[in-house]
A and B are shown apart, each in its own frame.
Chain A
């Protein structure tokens, strides 16, 4: 039998929901794990979760739309989030932002055409004494200088198995 992409995605979602004993109160954790595994919680995944937990799709969608870290469409394989809070801004966030946009040729909120890297903003990362701060996936960088941007991004691309240009 031919295993389609949707069969595979569905099997992954079922495995995650089962690992949490199909417990409705674990919904956020389930969605976080789907996000981690599939880089998004697509409407298809939401429907599968809803069926398994006996919820309406809108109930699942309402949770997905509420939390900033949950996306409905896959972002880049490397997600960069630069802290936009005032303490970091006072230490030079704007220069970091400009260098990131220049190096990737995209604006904040966008993903590179090859699907490799997404640029976005984060609210306070709690690194106000060591700004500018940014998250590259779950990896934290502090006191970032514009000169370091290229190296940090090359490291992230390498870790994600992407070509380094």
Chain B
């Protein structure tokens, strides 16, 4: 398969060529350990943004002595700019359930949960139908596909509007009926997860890739992408482009090549990884979308030449102030201070000392916040300030024009 960008705008994803249940049938012909080895060889990493090797999660959960294990599908896609999981759940729910069932076979789990964000409640009826159909055809329930003793069933749990519940330990707290506060780690969910049992939490897309890898072989996935970021990845493209949507690209694609594909000529910057990601200015569009460089969840928002990037930063910080769970001080207070700062900057009322203090605060938040929310929320602020210093220093109070330009 060629590694050039393929035109896979929604209708033409690998997922659309993968028959439902085909990967599951193949997987159940092999021993659980062999399945984990195969996923390991493929190099599949978590597609929710963190990029943790999937097979390592599975192996740790499988090795943990327990009377019960869980597979949880993280469908709490809440990152601003991310919508690929919504498309997968709408179009390919069988592949997600195939992936969950294969994971259950691999680690010895009997129960699965899809944690669906409340905003996606409209997807629930179709998912319920899919689960019911699979129960009736024997791909869920007792003795899945006739495998004696392999029982696995899935329920859907609806979230209620909380971004932080996408963090896996907060998600588990929410599943247990509490506030979505991230847990102290260790222990990690693979040792002590849902109800204290070993639990694998995988993103929707990660799970959907699993049956494709089983069907096409680990070598197929490994041969795509880069050495450290193998395989294909879905990207959610929005903003100032001619053809927004979900695209499938090999890892390692450059931002410039992506913009070429989606019709993003003239962009001044792209935000990669959603609000928690980083802003990449035009002069760095040769950077590659890989786990080792700028990709995270696969959300890419494109900004045309006339966009005010400080408005973008303010929008993201308003989001983080609202969505910080409030448990730890660096995140709860830090995001508020950054929001006040960006508003003062936009009004042209921020001294250089104040600005450097805010940038120090970013480092403090990154180092001391308890979970990924507070550790990544300063990213946009920092990278936008770094990329567009001319938009910050000497900013006019009245408009988006600069004092310097007005004088000249």
Chain A contacts for B158, CB-based, 8 A: 29, 32
Task: For the complex, give the distance between the alpha carbons of A26 and B301 in Å.
Answer: 37
Task: For the complex, give the distance between the alpha carbons of A55 and B175 in Å.
Answer: 17
The one of B160, B301, B325 in contact with A86, judged by C-beta atoms closer than 8 angstroms, is B301
Chain A contacts for B77, CB-based, 8 A: 126
The answer to whether B119 touches A135, judged by C-beta atoms less than 8 angstroms apart, is yes
The answer to whether B177 touches A63, judged by C-beta atoms less than 8 angstroms apart, is yes
Given the known interface contacts A32-B160, A67-B162, the answer about A87 and B81 at a Cβ–Cβ threshold of 8 Å is yes
Q: How large is the interface on A (under 10, 10 to 19, 20 to 34, 35 or more residues)?
A: 35 or more
Within 8 A of B (CB), among A5-36: 24-32
Instruction: Judge whether B120 is part of the interface by a CB distance below 8 angstroms.
Output: yes
Within 8 A of A (CB), among B185-215: 195
The answer to whether B195 touches A123, judged by C-beta atoms less than 8 angstroms apart, is no
Chain B contacts for A140, CB-based, 8 A: 122
Instruction: Judge whether B78 is part of the interface by a CB distance below 8 angstroms.
Output: yes
Q: Write the B141-175 contact mask toward A (1 if CB under 8 angstroms, else 0).
A: 00000000000000001111111000000000011
The answer to whether B82 touches A25, judged by C-beta atoms less than 8 angstroms apart, is no
Task: For the complex, give the distance between the alpha carbons of A28 and B312 in Å.
Answer: 33
Task: For the complex, give the distance between the alpha carbons of A151 and B79 in Å.
Answer: 30
The answer to whether A123 touches B177, judged by C-beta atoms less than 8 angstroms apart, is no
The answer to whether B160 touches A129, judged by C-beta atoms less than 8 angstroms apart, is no
The answer to whether A66 touches B323, judged by C-beta atoms less than 8 angstroms apart, is no
Instruction: Judge whether B139 is part of the interface by a CB distance below 8 angstroms.
Output: no
CB distance from A72 to the nearest CB of B (A): 14
The answer to whether A129 touches B245, judged by C-beta atoms less than 8 angstroms apart, is yes
Given the known interface contacts A67-B161, A85-B80, A129-B245, the answer about A123 and B319 at a Cβ–Cβ threshold of 8 Å is yes
Chain B contacts for A69, CB-based, 8 A: 118, 160-161
Task: For the complex, give the distance between the alpha carbons of A62 and B174 in Å.
Answer: 12
Instruction: Judge whether B386 is part of the interface by a CB distance below 8 angstroms.
Output: no
The answer to whether A139 touches B122, judged by C-beta atoms less than 8 angstroms apart, is yes
The answer to whether B82 touches A126, judged by C-beta atoms less than 8 angstroms apart, is yes
Q: Write the B67-106 contact mask toward A (1 if CB under 8 angstroms, else 0).
A: 0000000000111111101100000000000000000000
Q: How large is the interface on B (under 10, 10 to 19, 20 to 34, 35 or more residues)?
A: 35 or more
The answer to whether A85 touches B315, judged by C-beta atoms less than 8 angstroms apart, is yes
Instruction: Judge whether A153 is part of the interface by a CB distance below 8 angstroms.
Output: no
The answer to whether A129 touches B161, judged by C-beta atoms less than 8 angstroms apart, is no
The answer to whether B78 touches A123, judged by C-beta atoms less than 8 angstroms apart, is yes
Task: For the complex, give the distance between the alpha carbons of A122 and B78 in Å.
Answer: 11
Instruction: Judge whether A127 is part of the interface by a CB distance below 8 angstroms.
Output: yes
Instruction: Judge whether A89 is part of the interface by a CB distance below 8 angstroms.
Output: yes
Instruction: Judge whether B237 is part of the interface by a CB distance below 8 angstroms.
Output: yes
Instruction: Judge whether A125 is part of the interface by a CB distance below 8 angstroms.
Output: yes
Instruction: Judge whether A124 is part of the interface by a CB distance below 8 angstroms.
Output: yes
The one of A68, A124, A130, A139 in contact with B160, judged by C-beta atoms closer than 8 angstroms, is A68
The answer to whether B81 touches A85, judged by C-beta atoms less than 8 angstroms apart, is yes
Closest residue of chain B to A30 (Cβ to Cβ) is: B177
Instruction: Judge whether A116 is part of the interface by a CB distance below 8 angstroms.
Output: no
CB distance from A94 to the nearest CB of B (A): 12
Given the known interface contacts A28-B160, A62-B179, A68-B160, the answer about A129 and B79 at a Cβ–Cβ threshold of 8 Å is no
Chain A contacts for B315, CB-based, 8 A: 84-86, 89
Given the known interface contacts A66-B180, A140-B122, the answer about A124 and B236 at a Cβ–Cβ threshold of 8 Å is no
The one of B122, B163, B301 in contact with A128, judged by C-beta atoms closer than 8 angstroms, is B301
The answer to whether B160 touches A87, judged by C-beta atoms less than 8 angstroms apart, is no
Task: For the complex, give the distance between the alpha carbons of A129 and B242 in Å.
Answer: 10
The answer to whether A63 touches B179, judged by C-beta atoms less than 8 angstroms apart, is yes
The answer to whether A123 touches B244, judged by C-beta atoms less than 8 angstroms apart, is no
Instruction: Judge whether B133 is part of the interface by a CB distance below 8 angstroms.
Output: no
Instruction: Judge whether B407 is part of the interface by a CB distance below 8 angstroms.
Output: no
Task: For the complex, give the distance between the alpha carbons of A125 and B122 in Å.
Answer: 11
Chain A contacts for B121, CB-based, 8 A: 138
Question: Which residues in A have some Cβ–Cβ distance to B below 8 Å?
Answer: 24-32, 62-63, 66-70, 84-87, 89-90, 122-131, 135, 138-140
Q: What are 22 A-to-B residue pairs whose CB atoms are below 8 Å? A: A25-B177, A25-B195, A28-B174, A29-B158, A32-B160, A63-B177, A66-B162, A69-B161, A85-B81, A85-B315, A85-B319, A86-B239, A90-B239, A122-B119, A123-B161, A123-B323, A124-B79, A126-B77, A128-B80, A128-B82, A129-B236, A130-B244
Known A28-B157, A68-B160, A85-B80; further 16 A-B contacts with Cβ < 8 A: A25-B175, A25-B195, A26-B177, A67-B180, A68-B118, A69-B118, A85-B315, A86-B239, A86-B315, A87-B81, A123-B319, A124-B79, A124-B81, A125-B119, A126-B85, A128-B83
